[in-house]
Amino acid sequence: MASLFKKKTVDDVIKEQNRELRGTQRAIMRDRAALEKQEKQLELEIKKMAKIGNKEACRVLAKQLVQLRKQKTRTFAVSSKVTSMSTQTKVMNSQMKMAGAMSTTAKTMQAVNKKMDPQKTLQTMQNFQKENMKMEMTEEMINDTLDDIFDGSDDEEESQDIVNQVLDEIGIEISGKMAKAPSAARGLPSASTSKASTISDEEIERQLKALGVD
């Protein structure tokens, strides 16, 4: 029972109007079909009367044919008007839906703008940029330090491998003599005795200021 007293929405009203317009359009098409049938019958009657020489009957039937054709022309005009009304209804429905969507979007944007603090958001972005740059600089410094520690020993080992390969190709005697020669690497400090310098926050802050990042 509650559905009987439910208030109709705009969509419900538009659907009912479209149903009525479609029904009207079908009725017009039925009327036109009937008029076309009568038109053919009148044409046959006129031809029949003309064959027997009944001019008066031909004149009367011709007038009826003219009126019938005028009525058929009116059905085309009415049908076109109904189609136009249906199109306008659909356009209005679409515009109303667009307006409703815009209204909802505007309310959402207003709610978001109320919750959002532009200054706080800007400060957060600046802090993120600053910390990100600090992290990158720290990572770069650590990588440079590690490269200084390990690159020398790697190069030395690679060079020694090349020397050993060449000596093996020349001969064992020279290799033996070279083995007795003092190694230049013995005077170098080992990687285990090297220590990476500690990077302080003050140093990073100083470099950030030098780059123009506050």
* 161-205 pLDDT per residue, tens: 666 676 666 554 444 554 555 554 444 444 444 444 455 677 777
155 and 135 co-located in one domain: yes
108 and 8 co-located in one domain: yes
52 and 103 co-located in one domain: yes
137 and 194 co-located in one domain: yes
Write out the two tokens for 35. Answer: 């008029």
Instruction: Select from 160, 202, 208, 209 the least CA-distant residue to 181.
Output: 160
Q: Is 211 left (phi over 0), alpha (psi -120 to 50) or beta?
A: alpha
Give the pLDDT of residue 14. 77
Give the pLDDT of residue 3. 52
89 and 134 co-located in one domain: no
End-of-domain residue from the set 115, 143, 163 = 115
Give the pLDDT of residue 129. 87
Do residues 9 and 46 touch, judged by C-beta distance below 8 A? no
Per the structure, the count of domains in the chain is: 2
Per residue in 6-57, pLDDT (tens digit) is 677 767 777 888 888 888 889 989 999 999 999 999 989 988 888 888 888 8
Give the torsion sign (CA, 45, 50, 53, 59): positive
What percentage of the chain reaches a pLDDT higher than 90?
A: 9
Supply the range of the domain harboring residue 42. Answer: 2-115
Q: Is 196 left (phi over 0), alpha (psi -120 to 50) or beta?
A: beta
Which of the residue ranges 51-65, 102-116, 171-185 would you say has the lowest mean pLDDT? 171-185
124 and 41 co-located in one domain: no
174 and 194 co-located in one domain: yes
111 and 12 co-located in one domain: yes
51 burial level (CB within 10 Å; 0-12, 13-18, 19+) = exposed
Buried b (16+ CB within 10 A) or exposed e, 113-140: eeeeeeeeeeeeeeeeeeeeebeebeee
Q: What is the mean pLDDT of the chain?
A: 75
111 and 122 co-located in one domain: no
105 and 31 co-located in one domain: yes
181 and 140 co-located in one domain: yes
